[in-house]
Structure 1
Amino acid sequence: MLSEFITKTPGVCGGRPCVRGHRVRVLDIALMSERQGKSPDEIAHMYSLDLSQVHAALAYYFANMDEIREDMRRSLELVEQLRSEAIPDS
C-alpha cells in the first residue's frame, strides 16, 4: 500500500525514499514533523502534497525508522563536515 505513495529510485533524491511524483524525501517530512513540530496539514501545504501523501511518508518513516534515522545521521555528518571545511578555525 505504501508503494502507491512512496518510491525509491536510483538517481532520484539520492535513491532515498521519497513521495512518488515529487522530489520530497521521507526524511524531510519526518524532520519537519519530529524536529520542527509541523502538523501533517502544515507539511502538506508547504510541499504542495495531499494529506494522504504526508501520512504515507510518516507511516513509511515509522515502519523503517532505523533506515531513516541512519540517513538522518549521515546527512547531519555531511553538513557538519562541509561546515567545518567552509569555516576555518580561528
Structure 2
Amino acid sequence: MQTVSTEHIEITPSVRNGKPRIAGTRIAVEDIAVMHLKMGYSLIEIAPKYNLSLGSVYAAMAYYFDNKEEIEHRMTQEVEYIKELKQNYPSKLHNIS
C-alpha cells in the first residue's frame, strides 16, 4: 500500500497521465525535482515563481526522494518515447529554406 500526503500531493489518472503532482495544480513532482536538482533553482525560488506554498514544494521533493526510482524510470521512458517519435516522424520544418 502506498501512502501519499494528500495535503500536498495527489495522483489522478486523468491528470498528467497519473503523475504525482502538487494538489490542485498540474505541476508534477518530477517538474519540481527537475527544476531543483537539474536546473539549480532553490525550493524557495520555485514556490513563489509558480504560486505554490513552500510546504507543497518540500512535499514534492520528499515524495520524489521516497519514489525516486519509479519517477526516474518514468522520465526515462518519456525521453525514449520522444526520441522514437522524432525518429519516426521527422519535423517538416527542417526542410524549409
Query: Alpha carbons of 1:80 and 1:45: their partners in 2 closer, same or farther (altered >3 Å)?
Result: farther
Deviations, residues 43-70 of structure 1 (Å, cap 9, x unaligned): 1122210110100000000001111101
Higher RCO (C-alpha 8 Å, min separation 6) = 1
1:35 pairs, out of 8, 25, 38, with: 38
Q: After the TM superposition, list the runs of 4 or more consecutive aligned residues in structure 1 that deviate by more than 6 angstroms.
A: none
- TM-score, normalization by structure 2: 0.81
- TM-score, normalization by structure 1: 0.87
List gaps (5 residues or longer) in structure 1. none
Q: What root-mean-square deviation, in Å, do the aligned CA atoms of Structure 1 and Structure 2 show? A: 2.0
Per-residue deviation, 1:81: 2.3
Instruction: Report sequence identity in percent.
Output: 40
Q: Give the corresponding residue for 2:61.
A: 58
- Larger Rg belongs to: 2
